[in-house]
Structure 1
Amino acid sequence: MGLSYLGIFHTVIGIIAIIAAFVSLFKSARIDLGKLSGKIYFYFTLFASLTALGLSSVKGVNPGHILALLIIILILTAYYLYAKKPGNNRSRFFENFFLSFSFFLSLLPTVNETFTRVPVGHPLASGPTDPLIGKTLLILFLLFILGSVLQFRRQRKINRLARL
């Protein structure tokens, strides 16, 4: 596989972040920063994104660095909304969307790296342009859209009930 120590650390904390996101989505239908799984997602995604800035097979800034910075901005903004704008209000819509979008964006390099490295010696995909990667990302994108719509509807219902 040929991973550096930073690459191994990045991969381990990234996997933990993804598992925490799935746990939070399963339990709360959103990544809930008020719960342990949401906090794990936040911190481990932050560290995974920061360590991604130190990983590169080419010199200079590349799309992976831009993606990592975008994820950092999304989760920090979501955390700000969670901490500074408590209660069931419009901020929850943005918080939910930013965390879900950051999770979706985290899956882009995850799918590519996993499919081009596993199983060792006979990877599932030949590279980023492999149709299997494209189809998988399309399915994940459609799930992200569906999940975002369901989260929006759920939050709207929660906000209405809170006003009563």
Structure 2
Amino acid sequence: MLNMSAFGMFHTALALVAVIAGIIALLRGGEIGSRSRAGQTYIGFTVGTCITGLFIFHHGGFGAPHVLSIVTLLVLALAWFGERRPADAGIWRYVAVLGYSLTLFFHLIPGLTETGTRIPLGAPAFSGPEDPLLKALVGAGFVVYLLGATLQAIRIRQSRRLPLPA
């Protein structure tokens, strides 16, 4: 049907749960983080997606998707570390919030690529990973990430300006 193995379907299911949880976390709290149930779900399922993705070789050997999995794991680790710094630790709050959001953008890349090269059946939307329309959509997704990251950074900055309670 979609030329996908059972393991590939499992990997995709993990990714879908992660993306839905990440969007819920963003909508509810304006950020993804381990202090919310949606954030914990996002982080755990994103780790699972990355790890399972390292064992998928649909396009040959080790390649860009595997590198993206490793980079995503590194950014998640950095964001998690930043989240555990004291509240007055300066830049670490930005690292945590923007890092988690960046990993949500990372989900977009293989999500669009794999979906668009398989659907609609018989006449996929994209010819492959180098399709110009796919690149344009990923670029648009990055612009959306940048806008969201800017709003998150402004929110963090404003929260730091609030007067301390007496």
Q: TM-score, normalised by structure 2?
A: 0.90
Q: Is residue 2:78 matched to residue 1:77?
A: yes
- Hey, what's the Cα distance between the residues in 2 that align with 1:28 and 1:121? 41
Q: CA deviation at 1:2?
A: 1.7
**Number of the residue aligned with 1:34:** 35
Q: Percent identity among equivalent residues?
A: 29
Q: CA deviation at 1:42?
A: 0.1
Equivalent residues in 2 for 1:1-164, closer than 5 Å: 1-58=2-59, 60-82=61-83, 84-87=84-87, 89-90=89-90, 91-161=92-162, 163=164
Q: Return 5+ residue gaps in structure 2 as ranges.
A: none
Residue identity in the other structure for 1:70 = V
Residue identity in the other structure for 1:112 = T
Residue identity in the other structure for 2:123 = H
Q: CA deviation at 1:89?
A: 4.3
- Hey, what's the Cα distance between the residues in 1 that align with 2:67 and 2:114? 17
| Deviations 1:15-52, CA, capped at 9 Å, x for gaps | 11011111111111211321111111100000000000
Aligned CA distance change for structure 1 residues 12 and 158 (closer, same or farther; 3 Å)? same
Aligned CA distance change for structure 1 residues 15 and 3 (closer, same or farther; 3 Å)? same
Q: TM-score, normalised by structure 1?
A: 0.91
Aligned CA distance change for structure 1 residues 137 and 11 (closer, same or farther; 3 Å)? same
Aligned CA distance change for structure 1 residues 47 and 162 (closer, same or farther; 3 Å)? farther
Q: CA deviation at 1:64?
A: 1.0
Q: Say whether the 8 Å CA contact 1:88–1:158 is kept in structure 2.
A: no
- Measured on the aligned residues, the alpha-carbon RMSD in Å equals 1.7
7-16 or 60-69: which moved more? Answer: 60-69
Q: Return 5+ residue gaps in structure 1 as ranges.
A: none
- Hey, what's the Cα distance between the residues in 2 that align with 1:73 and 1:120? 35
99-108 or 35-44: which moved more? Answer: 99-108
Q: Say whether the 8 Å CA contact 1:89–1:159 is kept in structure 2.
A: no
- Hey, what's the Cα distance between the residues in 2 that align with 1:140 and 1:8? 24
Q: Say whether the 8 Å CA contact 1:50–1:68 is kept in structure 2.
A: yes
